[in-house]
Amino acid sequence: MNYSVFLFFLSCIVLIFNYGLVTTAASNVGLNYGLLGDNLPPPSNVITLYKSIGITKVRIFDPNTEVLNALRGHRDIKVTVGVRDQDLAPLAASEDAVKAWFATNIEPYLADVNIAFITVGNEVIPGPIGPQVLPVMTSLTHLVKSRNLPISISTVVSMGNLGQSYPPSAGMFTSQAREQLTPVLKFLSQTSTPILVNIYPYFPYATDPVNIHLDYAISKSKAVVVQDGPLGYSNLFDAMFDAFLWAMEKEGVKGLPMVVSETGWPSAGNGDMTTPLIAATYNRNFVKRVDSSKGTPKRPNSSVDGFLFATFNENQKPPGTEQNFGLYNPVDMKPIYKLFSV
């Protein structure tokens, strides 16, 4: 056998042995870039990492100047920028405040940063400041439209908006979610702008590992586990996604696009439920799902679009699993497990 061919096959065996097949570069999946750590690498190094593994979509939680400056010139990376929760009250009270926020935090980067989305608040609906989301979204939408900017305005919500989710067709919002979220969904429907939803199968599995099997939770099962009328579910992610779709339909919102703003699995922090092997399996299956353009049972012809959480383990998050959702160690930028090839 040719020596170079032998080395190629040997490298493939090593990659397969190290927690399974490695996803090739240029994936359609995005990455969340959190900053709650005191040992994170410089943003310029992080952008270099993204380029090396083919990441073309990044979500940041606030308009961090260092990160946005590092993204200058990399217009092949679509950026989602969050409005901080603590900024919502003054912005909701004044359209002039929204214009000033935009001028300070977005305007300076429009020429050389590809800002695709602005998200207003992160999981604040339902809650005390939930009613502030729609006024800010409305003002920002009018602003970007008046300037013909190709920026979508939305918000990020959690599965906590559902009062019922099993079976998926029984998906229904809580009364507070109906009050705060439904007007937002109807506003988004006017322009078919996606709602962004954080979907974590890990949490229901960790709460009830007796009745929710691991293979179903990490999208490893091939057989139908939950039969919901004519729709069969072999994994928990699809069931959660479709439960949200059903809940929207019950509020008269049909066909609205949905983007998965966060999903992932911790590699440590909760015993045998959180190992690098399990985390790698779940995240790899999510990447495969996004890259396959395969839909869910309820929307089989609409591909799933989304972001993994998160780029790094962040040591300033609450101790336990919250510190262990990262794909990379922040100190040396080495992968916690193999997911993307370089």
Catalytically active residues are 123, 262
Which two three-digit tokens encode residue 267? 């590699």
CA quadruple 266, 219, 165, 124: dihedral positive or negative?
A: positive
Rounded Cα distance between 243 and 182, Å, is 15
CA distances 315 to 85, 298, 322, 324, 326, Å, are 21, 38, 9, 9, 10
Which two three-digit tokens encode residue 260? 């998965």
**CB under 8 Å to 108, separation ≥6 — which residues?**
68
Which two three-digit tokens encode residue 252? 């008269």
Closest C-alpha among 78, 188, 204 to residue 137: 188
Which two three-digit tokens encode residue 10? 């040997």
DSSP output for 65-76: HHHHHHTTT-TT
Phi then psi for residue 146, to 5 deg, are: -65, -25
DSSP output for 158-187: EGGGEEE-SSGGG-EE-HHHHHHHHHHHHH
Asked if 273 contacts 203 with a C-beta cutoff of 8 angstroms, the reply is no
3-state secondary structure of 79: strand
From start to end of the chain, where are the E strands? 30-33, 57-60, 78-83, 114-122, 152-158, 162-164, 172-173, 195-198, 226-228, 231-233, 258-263, 305-308
